[in-house]
């Protein structure tokens, strides 16, 4: 049954990807990503088994397109945290892109427990360009500054909320009582 499903996947993938290659490279990449996600489901996210099946495809253009998006698709299918921004091309001079990228990078940094070795283990399967860009951005001054500011602000709010809540309640109670006395006097 599994062999028949894989053969069916191969036939459908060759037809779909070669058909979309006529339209555009971007559409063929999208179809290849979708096909690879199905393949990963068939092989239970086994990297070697998936690669072996792709290598058995005789059509060079289809095999090339599948291998082109293989790593990104594998990461998206197997990792519990990833962001599509890590794989997109973008310029950090664009404030919106930089802010969104930094937010996702900060989430990834927290997900790794703020540990560089764990972060490296998480991103080791990412495509080279994405992995290099993440590591460069992680060590950039802009990201370090944003990370320190967010940490300081969040830390200050959480400390003040815990230590002064009783004191704040007492002050508000005194003000309320004074207001009642003035109002009804």
Using alpha carbons only, give the angle 48, 52, 56 rounded to the nearest 5 degrees. Answer: 170
Phi, then psi, of 56 in degrees rounded to 5: -80, -10
Query: pLDDT value at position 79?
Result: 65
| pLDDT tens for each residue of 149-164 | 655 454 444 444 455 5
pLDDT tens digits, 70-89: 877 777 766 666 777 787 88
Helices and strands counted in the chain (H then E): 10, 0
The domain limits of the chain are 1-78, 143-184
Residue 21, pLDDT score: 86
CB-CB contact of 89 with 41 (8 Å)? no
Q: Rounded to whole angstroms, what are the CA distances from 148 to 77, 92, 107, 120, 140?
A: 32, 19, 14, 21, 12
Which regions of the chain are under pLDDT 70? 1, 77-81, 149-165
pTM of the complete model:
0.53
**Dihedral over Cα of 113, 119, 122, 127: its sign:** positive
Query: What is the distance in angstroms between the CA of the first residue and the CA of the last residue of the chain?
Result: 88
Q: What is the pLDDT of residue 94?
A: 86
């Amino acid at each position: 049954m599994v062999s028949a499903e894989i053969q069916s996947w191969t036939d459908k993938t060759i037809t779909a990807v070669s058909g979309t290659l006529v339209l555009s490279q971007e559409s063929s990449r999208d179809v290849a990503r979708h096909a690879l996600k199905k393949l990963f489901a068939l092989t239970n996210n086994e990297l070697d088994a998936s690669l072996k099946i792709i290598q058995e495809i005789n059509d060079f253009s289809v095999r090339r397109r599948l291998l082109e998006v293989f790593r990104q698709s594998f990461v998206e299918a197997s990792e519990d945290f990833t962001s599509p921004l890590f794989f997109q091309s973008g310029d950090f001079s664009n404030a919106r892109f930089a802010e969104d990228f930094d937010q996702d990078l900060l989430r990834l940094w927290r997900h790794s427990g703020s540990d560089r070795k764990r972060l490296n283990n998480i991103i080791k399967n990412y495509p080279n360009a994405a992995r290099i860009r993440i590591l460069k951005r992680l060590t950039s001054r802009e990201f370090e500054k944003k990370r320190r500011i967010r940490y300081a602000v969040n830390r200050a709010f959480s400390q003040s909320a815990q230590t002064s809540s009783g004191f704040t309640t007492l002050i508000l109670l005194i003000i309320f009582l004074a207001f009642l006395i003035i109002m009804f006097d």
